[in-house]
Amino acid sequence: MYTTQMDAAKRGIITEQMRIVAREENIGLELLRELVASGRIVIPANRHHTSLSPKGVGEKLRTKVNVNLGVSKDCYDIELELEKAKRAIDLKAEAIMDLSCYGKTRDFRRSLIEMSPIMIGTVPMYDAVGMLDKDLKDITVDEFFSVVERHAEDGVDFMTVHCAMNQKTAERIKNNTRLTNIVSRGGSILFAWMELNHQENPFYQYYDRLLDICEKYDVTISLGDACRPGSIHDSTDPAQIEELITMGELTKRAWARNVQVMIEGPGHMAINEIAANMLLEKRLCHGAPFYVLGPLVTDIAPGYDHITSAIGGAIAASNGADFLCYVTPAEHLRLPNLDDMKEGIIATRIAAHAADLAKGIPGARDWDNQMSAARADVDFPRMIELAIDPEKAKRYREESKPECDDTCTMCGKMCPMKNMKKILNGEDLSIM
């Protein structure tokens, strides 16, 4: 009997989850098993998440997309967040992170896991203050781990835990001036607890205790980057690199216990630094799958950060990132609504697909080739059917009707697709 997907892979066992992933990704079962065994692919699949249709994240697989949602004190609407989750599933996201930080988080989390066929992640630190109903300073080490265990019991497939921000890394933050300090919510809470109590990060100091929980339920650890840059000024600085080195060390310790690991990455970063950062992560963290927020390639576009993020995400994934966390137009401004969420998902899916083309993922180009063939045939119904957002494509088409159905209002009778087809078929041509 195996304990985790990694344990099974090391033993030469092909699990049902591996079979599903191999079939969806058009990858050989034995190659997939080897990559899971080596930690270069993870299949987050908590054994208590019975509604899950498992996905793989990592080398040689399609770039996956995560959606963040969850209730907060200022926007406490569980039904709306569940509606967002359903919409995210319909829009073909592969993961949802529940970032709820107020109220009956467990009720929401359980409902989400019960209804979701896609993987669910959480950040237990967000839940600690509300669940324990006490001031941050007064939370004990045992209580922190009780929150982690509860999330695992509920069926969470992967958890972001900021294990690598130890006292040494915290000193880097204090000794190297940043414009935006720590922008990770979970990282800042943990940093504050460490400073208030003059103690080491409990998830670093008692890392084996975390591994015990993850091994028991087959929870994938997403090693959170507390020191991710929150501005392009702060990218690739000593604190970020110090934490990344520690993440690599913790990755090997997790693998020794057959616990699957993802590495979380930046943040905000200028375009010319992205490729080098992807290489650093893969090198320092031994090829573990890389999960990035963006990166956002400029800091000046509130209201349009789904675009700044998609630019960075496409570059990051084409250079080795495996998992993109979506960013919406509401980033830095407010909790996203349903429309914001859709914009963020579509932008991130475009980035992921663009990267898959660059990485040569088998079958990725087929979609583009089908669209190009439909355009060459001036087949607008087929173009709409193939669109990443058919709803929007159809609306745009219907809002501006051309004189001739086999053209659009941009070119009309001068449509190059239509005219080239006629000329090459030896037909007469009139563009008057």
Whether residue 90 sits in one domain with residue 71: yes
CA distance 167 to 205: 10
Contact call for residues 145 and 210 (beta carbons, < 8 A): yes
CA distance 392 to 380: 13
**Token code pair at residue 293:** 């927020």
Domain span holding position 403: 366-424
pLDDT at residue 422 in the model: 80
Range 123-128 average pLDDT: 92
Whether residue 171 sits in one domain with residue 243: yes
The answer for 158, left when phi > 0, alpha when psi is -120 to 50, beta otherwise, is beta
Calculate the average pLDDT of the chain: 95
CA distance 391 to 356: 24
Whether residue 250 sits in one domain with residue 397: no
Model pTM?
0.95
Whether residue 172 sits in one domain with residue 86: yes
**Does the pLDDT value for residue 432 go beyond 80?**
no
Residue 109's Cα: distance from chain center in Å?
18
**Token code pair at residue 25:** 């990704």
Q: Residues within the annotated binding site for Zn(2+)?
A: 268, 332
Whether residue 181 sits in one domain with residue 302: yes
Beta bridge partners of 42: 57
Number of domains in the chain: 2
Q: Is residue 282 part of a domain?
A: yes
Structural domain ending residue among the three candidates 359, 381, 408: 359
Structural domain ending residue among the three candidates 333, 359, 385: 359
Residue 284's Cα: distance from chain center in Å?
20
pLDDT at residue 403 in the model: 83
The residue to which tokens 């079939």 are assigned = 23
Q: Residues within the annotated binding site for [4Fe-4S] cluster?
A: 408, 411, 415
Whether residue 403 sits in one domain with residue 259: no
**Does the pLDDT value for residue 190 go beyond 70?**
yes
The CATH number linked to 44 is 3.20.20.540
Whether residue 354 sits in one domain with residue 279: yes
Contact call for residues 214 and 221 (beta carbons, < 8 A): yes
Task: Tell me the per-residue pLDDT of 275-322, one tens digit each, with 9 for 90 and over.
Answer: 999 999 999 999 999 999 999 999 999 999 999 999 999 999 999 999
Whether residue 161 sits in one domain with residue 41: yes
Whether residue 401 sits in one domain with residue 305: no
**Does the pLDDT value for residue 425 go beyond 90?**
no
Q: Residues within the annotated binding site for substrate?
A: 68, 97, 126, 162, 184-186, 225-228, 264, 291
Whether residue 390 sits in one domain with residue 348: no
Q: What are phi and psi of 223, to 5 degrees?
A: -70, 105
Q: Residues within the annotated binding site?
A: 68, 97, 126, 162, 184-186, 225-228, 264, 268, 291, 332, 408, 411, 415
Of the candidates 222, 202, 226, the one whose C-alpha atom is nearest the C-alpha of residue 214 is 222
Whether residue 416 sits in one domain with residue 315: no
pLDDT at residue 115 in the model: 96
DSSP 267-298: SB--HHHHHHHHHHHHHHTTT--EEEE--BS-
Task: Tell me the per-residue pLDDT of 366-410, one tens digit each, with 9 for 90 and over.
Answer: 999 999 999 999 999 999 999 999 999 999 999 998 888 888 888
Per DSSP, helices labelled H in 91-206 are 105-115, 124-132, 141-154, 167-175, 185-197, 202-205
Range 411-421 average pLDDT: 83
Looking at residue 153, its amino acid is E
